[in-house]
Amino acid sequence: MAEVLGVDPAGIERAAAILRAGGLVAFPTETVYGLGANALWAEAVAKVFAAKGRPSFDPVIVHVADPGEAAKLWREVPPLAQKLMERFWPGPLTLVLPKQDVVPDIVTAGLPTVAVRMPAHPVALALIREAGVPIAAPSANRFGRLSPTHHEAVLEQLGEAIDAVLAGGATPVGIESTVVSLVENPPRVLRPGGTPIEALREYIPDLRVEPPQGPSASPGTLPRHYRPSTPLFLWERGAPAGGEALERSRCGFLAFQQAWEGFAQVEVLSARGDLVEAAARFFALLRKLDRAGLAAIVAEPVPERGLGLAIMDRLRRASSGRARLDETRVWIVR
């Protein structure tokens, strides 16, 4: 059962220690409770998805205690972002900009951008400062359930799944932050929320609010969103039945627990068969294989339980089909 911590200095110190050790702490923000993990530690963030029971990875918002910290996560801070931070931070406005390499891929679900906000809640700010790291946090609810606006609601849904909750009572805003993408020109509201559009329009007169069409539409729900540039095939058991074949020595292999023979490059998701670790490493290893100049990538399916469901969801979207193997070749199943 989660530790219930008071929002005094002792409670905040304890919560920060749990975060630094890779644990999960739910904490109040001005919008809703967030389920926090050290944003710079992929495996800690993977635990957030496991605790929420999310069937898929979604990009997660990173919480910082001042604009200077955001600048360390984004590749650059355009003048418009600077102005919006000055006017709306701390507060329920999340800004999306290209990320730096320190942000693990699991935080952004493989996207090249990261969403960052500075919450306007004294407990959240004290926690981030005490932890000394940015905190990745989706809303602290189980998948598909309502966002919690009181620590009792967090305990009801996630009490068994997390390490601690900071008992801050009711959250003042109660709906999530407004998410604005500054990657698009003109900028676009990806999710309406706690910062009104009208207030944003004073700074961004041509701000778009209609849902995005085409390739930028809701990340994580597009069937082909995660497809690498190297063709990827899901390995299936069975003898090859003819068709097109590639030499194994020109292909890469994404393995679950054990390296396989004969491939040009093999990456192992988790030698100890831990799906949380596998999820934490998944996007990064897939990108590594994708950059290796291979003819194809073959991926071994992982068990479809826990975070394995999310991994398989991404693998299916990433794949161009299935492949069978013989000793030396990869046979594409058409």
Provide the binding-site residues for ligand TXA, judged by CB under 6 A.
Answer: 29, 31-32, 34, 58-61, 92, 94, 96, 108, 111, 113-115, 119, 137-139, 176-177, 179, 190-191, 219
> Nearest residue to Mg ion, using CB?
139
- Of 308, 304, 83, which is closest to residue 204 (Cα–Cα)? 83
What's at 65, amino acid-wise? Answer: A
Question: With CB cut-offs between 5 and 8 Å by kind, which of Mg ion, ligand TXA, none does residue 25 bind?
Answer: none
How many residues make contact with Mg ion (CB under 5 A)?
1
What's at 2, amino acid-wise? Answer: A
> CA 171, CA 70: separation in Å to the nearest integer?
23
Rounded least distance, CB 170 to Mg ion, Å: 18
Based on CB atoms, which residue is closest to ligand TXA, 62 or 323? 62
- Is residue 29 a contact residue for Mg ion (CB under 5 A)? no
- Of 110, 115, 137, which is closest to residue 49 (Cα–Cα)? 137
Rounded least distance, CB 136 to ligand TXA, Å: 9
Q: Which residue has the tokens 């023979």?
A: 261
Based on CB atoms, which residue is closest to Mg ion, 142 or 317? 142
Rounded least distance, CB 35 to ligand TXA, Å: 8
- Of 330, 316, 2, 267, which is closest to residue 161 (Cα–Cα)? 2
Rounded least distance, CB 135 to Mg ion, Å: 15
> CA 121, CA 34: separation in Å to the nearest integer?
12
Contact 141, 158 (CB under 8 A): yes
Residue 12 has which token pair? 């905040």
Rounded least distance, CB 185 to ligand TXA, Å: 15
Q: What DSSP line would sit under 238-250, residue for residue?
A: S---SS-EEEGGG
- Is residue 178 a contact residue for Mg ion (CB under 5 A)? no
Based on CB atoms, which residue is closest to ligand TXA, 149 or 230? 149
Contact residues toward Mg ion (CB under 5 A) are 139
